[in-house]
Each structure stands twice: as C-alpha cells, then as structure tokens.
Amino acid sequence: MAAGCATDGQRDKDEADTSEEGTGLVDRIGSLKKALEQDPQNPELYYQLGNALYDMGVFGEAARMYQGALKYNPNYADAYTNLGLTLRRLGQYKAAIGAYESALDLNPDDAITLQNLMTAAELTGDTHRVIRCMRRLTELQPDNAQAYARLAQVLLATERYEEATAVYERLLLLDPGVVGDYYNLGLCHFNLSQWDLAERAWRQALKLDPRHASANKGLAVLYWSKGDYDAAWQAVTTCQRLSIPLDPEFLHNLERDSGHAAAPRTDTHP
C-alpha cells in the first residue's frame, strides 16, 4: 500500500495519512495531473493521484483515479483495496465489498484487506462474510490471541457453539489466564448439553476468580439441568453467600423438581 492512503492495521480504519497536508499535497496533486497528461495510460500515476485525492478528502475523484489505475492494470491489487476504502467512505458498502474481494482474488494473504472487508461486511450485516474473514485472519496469524477472541465472540453470539468451542480451546492455549474465555467455553458446552465439559470450564474460571458471578450461577443451573439437585442447592448457597442474585423462576423450578424448600430468592439468570 502507498503511504498516502488509509489502510486498516496502520491506523484507525478511516483515518487518512495527512503528512502532506496543505500546499505540499495540493502541489503533489497538480504534479500528478500534469504527469498524467503526458502519460495518460500509466496505472501508477492514477494510483498515486487517487491516494493524494483520498488524503484531501475528495473521495469521488479518488475512486475515479483508482478505477483508472485498474483500467490500465486489472491486476493491481492495491488499487482494488484503496478503491474499497474510498467507496466505504462514500457509503457504498456493497461496492466496497466487491473491490476488496477483487483485491483478495489477486492477493489472498493480505491481512489489511481482509480486515477492511470484515469491517464493510459488518456494516452490511453480512455475518457469513465476517466469519470467513475472521477465520482467514486466524490462519494468517496463528499466534494472534486477539484474532481468535474476535472470532470466538462472533461464533458464540450467532449460536455456532461447536465452532466456537474449538476456537475458545485454541484461544485458551494462547492465553490461558482470561477468566471470561473459560466462562464462554463452558457456555458453549452448556448449550450443547455437554454438562461435564461445561462444569470443567466453569470450575477453571472459578479457580481464576472464585467470585465470578456468571460461572457460579452457571453451575447452579447446570446441576439442576442434569438432575443433580444436591449439587444445585450447594451452588445456590454459594451464590447467596457471595451475594450473587439468582433468577426467581430458576429457584422455583429447582424447588419444584428437588422437593426442597428454596432459600431467600433474588433475581437474574446466568
């Protein structure tokens, strides 16, 4: 990528490089336009002029220059990426996605373009494409815990529990000290009715933080779900001792199923 155009991974997603502000940038645009008059089929000149116009905030003209670069060099991956950035600034998200996809057809390992595509896909609600980008980023950056964390959160939020389980397990190998990741791993197992695995994950969360509210509440619900009512009441007692509120409906169901009188009730379900 040319330094004159904004790219994810270098700075904020839509922040342009303004190192050539003012007169210097205006002069650069003028020089590039004159050069194009002399060499009107030079894709690099179109590309550089597009970058300069982008930095000036003239996005419509910048897009036209990137398209000119692609007219004379259809395999110019960076021009597709920067065209995508420009179209995104113009609010043309679907067109931006198309430009990013064309860039990735030429350079599939470009993490910056993948990040930009992921952002545009998020803006259009294209969860399938977001997940595809995230998976590819974890392949390109296998030791990047943040990349795995983002993927795991999206998979969990979209109820893809089996897929999320594998990603959380990988994430915890990279960074085993995050209590929330153990809780979320347990939540995936819980939603798959994998009681023992859910218990193991939540017990690990509690080793790191014995007062973790969601893990403590989760254990109470887990034991009730598997019919271990004595353990469920022990977990309820722990929650009450730690002043962790429990859902009254859950306590009512536990009392009904266990034939045991409930302790004083609070609210909120794990």
Q: Each residue of 158-204: pLDDT tens digit?
A: 999 999 999 999 999 999 999 999 999 999 999 999 999 999 999 99
Model confidence at 23, in pLDDT bands (50, 70, 90)?
Answer: low
CB atoms within 10 A of CB 166: 12
Q: Indicate the length of the chain as a whole number.
A: 270
Which residues belong to CATH 1.25.40.10 in the chain?
A: 1-121, 142-209
Q: Does residue 80 contact residue 106 with C-beta atoms inside 8 Å?
A: yes
Q: Is 8 helix (H, G, I), strand (E, B) or coil?
A: strand
Average pLDDT, rounded, for the chain:
90
User: Roughly how many angstroms between the first and final C-alpha of the chain, as a whole number?
Assistant: 47
Structure tokens given for 164: 């999320």
pLDDT at 17 over 80: no
Residues 6+ apart with CB under 8 A from 38: none
Model confidence at 265, in pLDDT bands (50, 70, 90)?
Answer: very low
pLDDT at 233 over 60: yes
Cα gap 40→50, rounded to integer Å: 14
pLDDT at 16 over 80: no
Higher pLDDT among residues 265 and 219, named by residue: 219
Quick one: average pLDDT of 38-56?
A: 97
Q: What is the pLDDT of residues 89-131, one digit of tens each?
A: 999 999 999 999 999 999 999 999 999 999 999 999 999 999 9
Amino acid at 186: G
Amino acid at 210: P
Quick one: average pLDDT of 48-54?
A: 97
Please give the model's pTM, rounded to 2 decimal places. Answer: 0.81
Amino acid at 257: D
Residue 98 burial by CB count (10 A; 0-12/13-18/19+): exposed, middle or buried? middle
- Burial call 127-136: b when 16+ CB within 10 Å, e when fewer: eebbbebbbb
Task: Give the per-residue pLDDT at 18.
Answer: 38
Cα gap 137→139, rounded to integer Å: 5
Cα gap 238→241, rounded to integer Å: 5
3-state helix, strand, coil split of the chain in percent (to 5) is: 70, 0, 30
Quick one: average pLDDT of 147-157?
A: 97
- The dotted CATH code for 1-121 is 1.25.40.10
Task: Give the per-residue pLDDT at 261.
Answer: 72
Task: Give the per-residue pLDDT at 122.
Answer: 96
Residues 6+ apart with CB under 8 A from 130: 118, 121, 122, 154
Inter-CA distances, 228 with 16, 46, 61, 245, 254, Å: 59, 70, 68, 21, 10
pLDDT at 51 over 60: yes
Q: Which one, of 209, 204, 203, lies nearest residue 235 by Cα?
A: 203
Cα gap 215→223, rounded to integer Å: 12
Model confidence at 260, in pLDDT bands (50, 70, 90)?
Answer: confident
Cα gap 183→79, rounded to integer Å: 43
Q: Is 11 helix (H, G, I), strand (E, B) or coil?
A: strand
Superfamily of domain 142-209: Tetratricopeptide repeat domain (1.25.40.10)
